[in-house]
Chain A
Amino acid sequence: MGLTRRQFMALFGGTAVSAVAFQACGIPEHEMLIQSPLEMPEDMVTGLDNWYATICGQCSSQEGIVVRVVEGRAKKVEGNPDYPVNHGKHSARCEAALQALYHPDRIAGPMVRYGERGEGKWDEIGWVDGITRLAAQLEALPSGRRGNVVVLTNPEDAHLGHVIGRFAEEFGAQRLTYETLESTNLRAALRYAFGDDFMPEFDIANSEMILSFGADFLNTWGSPVRYAKAYGEFRQGDRSRGKLVHVDSRLSLTAANADEWVYVEPGMEGLLARSIAAVLIEEGSAAPGAANSVTGGDPDGFLSKFSPDQVSSQLGHVTAQKIRDIAHDFASHQPGIAIGGGSAGAHTNGYSNLAAVYALNALAGSVGVEGGVMRNPAPFMARPASAERASFGRLRRLVDDMRAGRVDALLVRGVDPMYSLPESLGFREASYNVPLIVSFSEMLDDTANMADLVLPQNSPLEDWGSSVPDPGTGVSLVGFQQPVVRPYFEPRGLQLGTKNFGDVLMALAKSLDMDLGLEGETFKDVLQASARSIWESNRGSVGTTPASSFADFRAFWNAALMHGFWQDDSGAGGGGTSSLGPLPEHTEPSASGPSGAGTFDLVPFASSALGDGRGAHLPWLQAMTDTITTTAWQTWAEINLAVADEMDIKEGDVLRLSSGFGEILALAYPHPGVAPGAVCVPMGQGHAAYGRYAEGRGSNVLDALALATDVETGALAWAATRVQVRKTGDWVRLPKFENTKPDLAVDEHHDVIRLTS
């Protein structure tokens, strides 16, 4: 042995000492400091905070919020207690507006691409430079090709929409607005049932029964916070407990909360609604006038076509008795509301389905009555004609134009078409034929990533704006959005940082020597001028103070910003059924994609956290668990437990869902609440860019969709695809919150959730 005993001991001692020293170094210094022993810092709050009212720009329901600001930093979002849309309540999505503001990957200033498109090579430029470059390119277009400039935005109906509209009109550009989960069918059905296409007001709180078809209205559809607030009263308010029956091809959050969830295959909702109508008519519980017009004066024909027995055999899963029971319930629980939307309106017969659903309201006589469906007055600002929401069919034409080189410039704001249109539509390839793509996004989303020029806009919390909500609140309402903090990148100077989109358009117009006919130099001026005209009209009130009692405009303006809105309820409660026409013919839904063993109806759904994908860049929303599956951060596929057993599919198995038009990967989540014939996949993941929290995560279910459209309206039929489900053989741990072990979380003895009748 080369080592003597003594040496060995010395060595041993030395090693022990260094081990100890190493350990000591492992403790960060701050953790060694002695800290307050007795009280929590929470017990000793100091400092002042301010709450500023504004409008949340995180999703399309546009709620009024108040934001807590300490030392110039936004700290907390809560609902604006006075705001008529949400009465102080808010959703998780609003909360995350803070993270949009302080997102580590926000674009910090205008950028111009120098590498290939999508390569991610950018040069930062100044705002003057950016706007001049854009103006020069637009100006260079021969006047005949100005129509080849397309301004593609989210639906913006209020002042900003007006500015965009003015710009587009003045310049001669096309203006298109769209939403992934488009409301084309819904609006057509509303027009059929109520005579105009504004979302009506559902008086859920005072209703006895809600019969809902496909609309996940407690979670993602319409104005969920508003509906949820009313739902609380519906269940446990002063009236007797209301009854909720939900018809859907998936166990959505709304379905889970319903007293009864009635499963029908995608696209069959309208048939069921017709049969319920038939029972109402047959048994004389339908309003005679409505019955007559809905059936086109031929009740007998209608009844024979849609008798419960007939329909039950077509539906398969629903007995004739069940249909009658629902109809009887609906007849006896009046005022009641029939709501339709979501996947019910997203099949090839979506319009026809929804028309039948909304007709039920008229049949039951619940239109214009308390606890029923109230018509909203026309929004305060007329929606400019150019702001017409594009149906999917319209976007398809746009892609054709792009492919054919008939689009010279694409100005994109508030939408992410590279992400949110089905892959098979070919927007991405067609975009290579567009010489100029300009993005106004705050984040490098999939589209901005492929843009030539990025002129980043402010985050909503640092921006001016306004909201004329639709779904409305039954009254005329204008919400004011004010900056609650100074722009985060303001310290970078005037040339860098972010700007208001309206300001950018106005500056661009100026460079182009265009007169938009707007009052003032900035978007804030436009907003203020409009507010002034409201004040001058002496209509309505701010808070409880009538507009007429403000001595001067300053006082009015300050109060409006403080309360966050102005409203006029003089024209409230518009009721009465307009004359319905005959119900559109029922058309059979036709799904595209494979059939046979191992194939399923693909039921995509808006994720409660990420929505259609807009929220995917925000870590709180990524980390927010889906309540049904308790899963976060991933794209999962819900599949029936027994079916999964048969196919030997375990939780976390990577599944390949192929429709023949495209395919996606998703992690299996078998549970007992999925219909054997369906596989349900959330939207929202699968971004190619969009910041560190979204990029390269999960799959975009839209990529698997067939390009099916509604036979009448051309709307995207996103619930009309069938897929083959196969295991890839890979397994990935599903990030979820519930128990990890094989058995399901079953509260066998009702120890946790106690029930009563």
Chain B
Amino acid sequence: MANKWGMVVDIDRCIGCQACVIACQSENNVPINTEGLYNQRRAIQWMRVERYWDGEFPDVKARFIPIMCQHCADAPCEPVCPVFATYHNEEGMNVQVYNRCIGTRFCANNCPYHVRFFNFWEPEWPDSLKNQLNPDVTVRSRGIMEKCSFCVQRIRRATRGDREVEDGDRALNPACVNACPTDALTFGNLNDENSKARRMMDEELADDGRGYHLFDKLGTNPNVVYLKKVEEGAKEGAHA
């Protein structure tokens, strides 16, 4: 059976350290987010850590959640793309073909998770910094959409020539997963019943588990599963 890739994100482990964010930027040739890009609200973070406030001093909470493309099985971003620049591959991933994208930004509007990022400008690096760019990953020009690819180039490299990969192989794992110091992120083949990610999903999506899909009522059927944050005395979320 073909592979089907998925991820489990344990919010109770995540400390909001941003290692995943920078690892992703490094692996995937994400343009440098200059001060201007932040001010224009055009910074690109395929992986981002959101921070939500709850309450006021001294009974205040700041909670974090890392969010990347959910690789929805029923991805709303896909049907609206007029040129099939974003489509589903056989491995359950939502892929983005930069060459084909014409930059309608339709997909970005229709992604409920806001994980699609548009290159409003041509990315720029000083010449010497270009030495660091990953040769396996396209440098996107302006006018096109980009987003988390589950580090498809790493999967391709690890499975090159029908090579068998072990679950949790660091060559296969996305950059963010390898970086995450708390092991909040677990990546694996969901078609492999013994993979850690699959086992976690089976276990945690069961009735008393902590698993949930982000905005599950939208029916996007993501391949990313979140595990609830544990807080003493917390009431279950509205949709739990």
Contact = CB atoms under 8 A, between A and B. Distances in A.
Contacts of A75: 132-135
A76 interface: yes
Interface stretch (B71-79, B187-195, B226-234): B226-234
A756 B231 CA distance: 6
Nearest to A756: B228
Interface string B201-240: 0000000001010110000000000111111111111111
Contacts of B16: 253, 256-257, 627-628
Nearest to B212: A754
Contacts of A737: 38, 43, 45, 48
A73 B134 CA distance: 10
A660 to B, nearest CB: 27
Contacts of A39: 97
Contacts of A625: 18, 21, 49
B60 A672 contact: yes
Given A70-B135, A232-B184, A751-B215, A77 B229 contact: no
A24 to B, nearest CB: 16
Contacts of A488: 128, 131
Contacts of B184: 232
B80 interface: no
A74 B132 CA distance: 6
B57 A228 contact: no
Nearest to A229: B181
A749 interface: yes
Given A42-B137, A102-B129, A754-B240, A78 B179 contact: yes
B132 A102 contact: yes
A674 B27 CA distance: 35
Given A257-B16, A671-B53, A755 B183 contact: no
Interface string A662-703: 000000000111111000000000000000000000000000
Interface stretch (A3-11, A93-101, A396-404, A715-723): A93-101
Interface in B46-98: 48-58, 60-65, 95-98
A219 interface: yes
Nearest to B170: A81
Interface in A698-757: 733, 735-738, 740, 744-747, 749-757
Interface string A224-255: 11001101110110000100000000010110
Contacts of B232: 259, 757
Contacts of B181: 86, 89-91, 224-225, 228-229, 232
B53 A73 contact: no
Which of A70, A104, A752: most chain B CB closer than 10 A? A752
A600 interface: no
A673 B234 CA distance: 19
Contacts of A633: 34-35, 38
B23 interface: yes
A652 B21 CA distance: 25
A747 B128 contact: no
Contacts of B153: 42-43, 45
B41 interface: yes
B165 interface: no
Contact of A37 (B99, B179, B182): B99
Interface residues of A, number: 103
A172 to B, nearest CB: 40
Contact of A735 (B38, B64, B136, B175): B38
Contacts of B61: 256
Contacts of A89: 19, 178-181
Contacts of A41: 136-138
Nearest to B10: A236
B170 to A, nearest CB: 6
Contacts of B99: 35-37, 40
B5 to A, nearest CB: 14
Contacts of A642: 56-57
A47 interface: yes
B26 interface: yes
B35 to A, nearest CB: 4
B49 A619 contact: no
Contacts of B25: 620
Interface string A614-641: 0000011101110110101110000011
Contacts of B214: 752
Contacts of B231: 259, 755-757
Contacts, number: 292
A39 B33 CA distance: 27
B199 interface: no
Interface string B133-162: 111111001000000010011001100100
Given A37-B100, A746-B53, A753 B229 contact: yes
B57 A674 contact: yes
Contacts of A373: none
B163 to A, nearest CB: 13
Contacts of A133: none
B129 A317 contact: no
Contacts of B167: none
A586 interface: no
Given A235-B12, A736-B38, A623 B33 contact: yes
A680 to B, nearest CB: 12
B63 to A, nearest CB: 5
Interface in A362-406: none
B15 interface: yes
Given A236-B10, A752-B52, A79 B179 contact: yes
Given A104-B127, A235-B12, A253-B16, A756 B96 contact: no
Contacts of B98: 40
Contacts of A31: 141
Contacts of B239: 749, 751, 754
A621 B19 CA distance: 11
A47 B54 CA distance: 49
Interface string A46-81: 010000000000000000000000110111111101
B185 to A, nearest CB: 10
A103 B230 contact: no
Given A89-B181, A232-B13, A747 B63 contact: yes
Contact of B179 (A90, A96, A634): A90
Contact of A753 (B13, B43, B48, B52): B52
Nearest to B11: A753
Given A90-B181, A102-B128, A627 B49 contact: yes
A366 B64 CA distance: 31
A698 B36 CA distance: 15
Contact of B235 (A634, A735, A755): A755
A40 B97 contact: yes
Contacts of B227: 236
Contacts of B127: 104
B179 A735 contact: no
Nearest to A77: B26
B57 A627 contact: no
Contacts of A620: 22, 25-26, 32
18 contacts: A40-B95, A71-B135, A79-B178, A89-B180, A99-B129, A218-B15, A225-B181, A229-B181, A231-B13, A256-B16, A257-B16, A261-B60, A488-B131, A623-B43, A672-B55, A672-B60, A738-B51, A747-B52
Given A76-B26, A620-B32, A623-B43, 15 more contacts: A47-B135, A73-B131, A76-B27, A90-B179, A90-B181, A236-B12, A241-B230, A257-B15, A627-B51, A628-B62, A671-B53, A746-B54, A749-B239, A755-B236, A757-B234
Interface of A: 30-31, 35-45, 47, 70-71, 73-79, 81, 86, 88-92, 95-96, 98-99, 101-104, 106, 218-219, 224-225, 228-229, 231-233, 235-236, 241, 251, 253-254, 256-257, 259, 261, 263, 317, 488, 608-609, 619-621, 623-625, 627-628, 630, 632-634, 640-642, 671-676, 733, 735-738, 740, 744-747, 749-757
Closest 6 interchain pairs by CB?
A232-B182, A735-B38, A104-B126, A750-B237, A755-B234, A228-B181
